């Protein structure tokens, strides 16, 4: 009897469980499906509106236009409405973009974005037609060949700037605190040398103009050359990221990794809470902890900011110059069925300290404005060596035997106010380190109690 009662009770709970589950399903499922159905209906409604407009444009527009042109324009508009960096890439655009990341393409040599409907120059690329014509970061391009391009989608503005190599294009530029003016630029094949180096006395100088597929390997090779040439005389390195508009994310990570032994380099966070990726450094500092100064300005964007932000957060480098551009978003290139692609903003990146630089930029440790610093020759100074009959130096001065072209390059570099300050900073750090070490040894040797046992 007890067993039967227990079975009834057990089955009763089971039946009650089924009843409760059924009630819950009936309570929540209709709302869920209703919401989903309403969302679908709204989507169908908007697509129906799109189809209606598509047909009207196709039938009534003053000129005949193909379905392909209309649909591509609609896709382009959809992506451009999201942010200045998302875009539709036709098959030709996608192919050209792949060539650009390899370091060679045709054009003016500028990285541009769209700001409030106006084309803005992020940075001119070194030694390109735009750079030689005097374009600067922050310049606004408001006209091409006398026609306004205000309000045009970015891809249409780019099309107007493009043209056959060797042809001229007149662009109207608006620069802060100046009246609009025209620049005539000859289009050319853009060959980007993404890395170059110089040796300023005992300080290495490496300039990165962009982050292409070969940037890290070229940089490492150049730094090894500097180390081989200077040996123990090496005092430090200046890494110049000014007017570097960015490029490949993986290259910015590997460039940063080259100077760190451990720790986080960058994290990217997408829309979902779990959509987080963190990248960490592997052991091995190519500079072996020698002083590192990084130069940035308002033309340093994206990948440049990842490098500067990570090395600043880790205390591995001193950042000198002016605030960077502030592009803290990551774009994914997603190939699509027509051999084209979409460039879609899929995440934001954060420095190791968790700071997003989107629209804020990287603040330098030492603010130094751009400018020219010319060393004044000491014409009026009289030294012992200038006096008639002065004794000769015991050691011969071989400084005049140096390559004059090399000296000219160094002089030109040091005329740059920011490079000059970075150079002085590294030499100061090295000198302080030497003096501090010598003073400690001197104090130890002078201590009368150093050998006494208390």
Q: Which residues of 393-414 are buried (b: 16+ CB within 10 A; e: fewer)?
A: eeeeeeeeeeeeeeeeebeebb
With respect to residue 449, please indicate whether it lies within any of the assigned structural domains.
no
pLDDT of residue 436: 72
pLDDT of residue 404: 55
Distance of CA 358 to the CA centre of its chain: 12
Q: In this structure, how many other beta carbons lie within 10 angstroms of the beta carbon of residue 138? A: 17
Q: What is the CATH number of the domain that holds 137?
A: 2.30.42.10
Kindly state whether residues 211 and 333 are assigned to the same domain.
Answer: yes
Kindly state whether residues 152 and 242 are assigned to the same domain.
Answer: no
Pick from 162, 191, 220: which residue ends a domain?
191
- Tokens of residue 284, six digits: 């091995």
Pick from 367, 399, 418: which residue ends a domain?
367
With respect to residue 415, please indicate whether it lies within any of the assigned structural domains.
no
Query: Where are the strands (E) in 96-139, listed by range?
Result: 104-107, 110-115, 118-124
Helix (H) or strand (E) holding 248: none
Q: What is the pTM of this model?
A: 0.75
Kindly state whether residues 220 and 340 are assigned to the same domain.
Answer: yes
Per residue of the chain (454 residues), give pLDDT as tens.
444 334 433 444 444 444 434 444 444 455 656 677 778 889 999 999 999 999 999 999 999 999 999 999 999 999 999 998 899 998 888 887 776 666 666 689 998 988 888 999 999 988 899 999 999 999 999 999 999 999 988 878 888 998 888 999 999 999 999 999 999 999 998 877 899 999 999 999 999 999 999 999 999 999 999 999 999 999 999 999 999 999 999 999 999 999 999 999 999 999 998 999 999 999 999 999 999 999 999 999 999 999 999 999 999 999 999 999 999 999 999 999 989 999 999 999 999 999 999 989 999 999 999 998 865 444 344 455 555 555 665 554 444 444 555 568 888 899 999 999 999 999 999 888 877 766 666 665 665 555 544 4
Kindly state whether residues 152 and 301 are assigned to the same domain.
Answer: no
pLDDT of residue 284: 97
Q: In this structure, how many other beta carbons lie within 10 angstroms of the beta carbon of residue 230? A: 15
CB 426 within 8 A of CB 414: no
Kindly state whether residues 360 and 220 are assigned to the same domain.
Answer: yes
Give every CB contact of residue 443 below 8 A, 6+ residues apart in sequence: none
Residue 280, strand partner residues: 264
pLDDT of residue 169: 95
pLDDT of residue 454: 45
pLDDT of residue 381: 45
pLDDT of residue 449: 55
Distance of CA 413 to the CA centre of its chain: 23
CB 89 within 8 A of CB 343: yes
Pick from 149, 167, 191: which residue ends a domain?
191
With respect to residue 124, please indicate whether it lies within any of the assigned structural domains.
yes
Q: How far is CA 299 from CA 135, 321, 324, in A?
A: 11, 11, 6
Domain carrying residue 202? 195-367
Kindly state whether residues 166 and 235 are assigned to the same domain.
Answer: no
pLDDT of residue 434: 75
Give every CB contact of residue 133 below 8 A, 6+ residues apart in sequence: 183, 184, 185
Q: How far is CA 21 from CA 13, 27, 29, 371, in A?
A: 12, 10, 11, 75
Kindly state whether residues 306 and 171 are assigned to the same domain.
Answer: no
pLDDT of residue 93: 83
Q: What's the structural domain count of the chain?
A: 2
DSSP structure string for 397-425: --GGGS-HHHHHHHHHHHTBHHHHHHHHH
Q: What is the set of active-site residues?
A: 302, 313, 327
């Amino acid at each position: 009897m007890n067993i039967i009662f227990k079975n009834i009770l057990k089955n009763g709970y089971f039946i009650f469980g089924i009843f409760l589950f059924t009630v819950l399903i009936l309570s929540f499922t209709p709302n869920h499906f209703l919401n989903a159905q309403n969302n679908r209906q709204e989507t169908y409604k908007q697509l129906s509106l799109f189809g209606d407009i598509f047909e009207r444009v196709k039938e009534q527009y003053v000129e005949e236009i193909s379905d392909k042109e209309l649909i591509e324009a609609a896709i382009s508009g959809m992506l451009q409405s999201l942010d200045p960096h998302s875009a539709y890439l036709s098959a030709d655009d996608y192919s050209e973009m792949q060539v650009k990341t390899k370091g060679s393409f045709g054009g003016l040599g500028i990285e541009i974005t769209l700001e409030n409907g106006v084309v803005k120059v992020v940075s001119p690329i070194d030694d390109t037609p735009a750079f030689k014509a005097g374009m600067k970061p922050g310049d606004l391009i408001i006209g091409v060949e006398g026609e306004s391009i205000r309000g045009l989608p970015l891809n249409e503005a780019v099309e107007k700037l493009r043209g056959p190599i060797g042809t001229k294009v007149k662009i109207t530029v608006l620069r802060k605190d100046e009246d609009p003016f025209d620049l005539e630029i000859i289009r050319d094949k853009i060959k980007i040398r993404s890395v170059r180096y110089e040796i300023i006395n005992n300080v290495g100088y490496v300039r990165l103009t962009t982050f292409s597929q070969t940037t890290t390997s070229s940089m490492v090779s150049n730094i090894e050359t500097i180390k081989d040439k200077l040996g123990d005389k090496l005092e430090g390195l200046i890494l110049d990221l000014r007017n570097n508009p960015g490029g490949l994310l993986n290259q910015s990570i590997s460039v940063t990794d080259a100077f760190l032994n451990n720790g986080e380099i960058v994290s990217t966070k997408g829309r979902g809470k779990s959509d987080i990726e963190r990248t960490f450094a592997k052991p091995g500092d190519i500079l072996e902890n020698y002083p590192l100064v990084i130069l940035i300005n308002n033309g340093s964007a994206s990948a440049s900011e990842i490098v500067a932000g990570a090395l600043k957060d880790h205390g591995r480098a001193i950042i000198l110059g002016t605030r960077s551009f502030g592009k803290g978003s990551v774009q994914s290139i997603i190939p699509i069925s027509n051999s084209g692609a979409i460039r879609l903003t899929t995440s934001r990146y954060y420095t190791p300290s968790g700071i997003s630089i989107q629209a804020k930029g990287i603040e330098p440790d030492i603010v130094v404005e751009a400018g020219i610093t010319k060393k004044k020759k000491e014409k009026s100074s009289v030294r012992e060596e200038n006096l008639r009959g002065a004794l000769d130096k015991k050691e011969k001065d071989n400084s005049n035997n140096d390559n004059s072209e090399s000296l000219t390059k160094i002089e030109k570099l040091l005329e740059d106010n920011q490079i000059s300050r970075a150079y002085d900073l590294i030499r100061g750090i090295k000198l302080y380190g030497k003096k501090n070490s010598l003073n400690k040894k001197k104090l130890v040797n002078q201590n009368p109690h150093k050998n006494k046992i208390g």
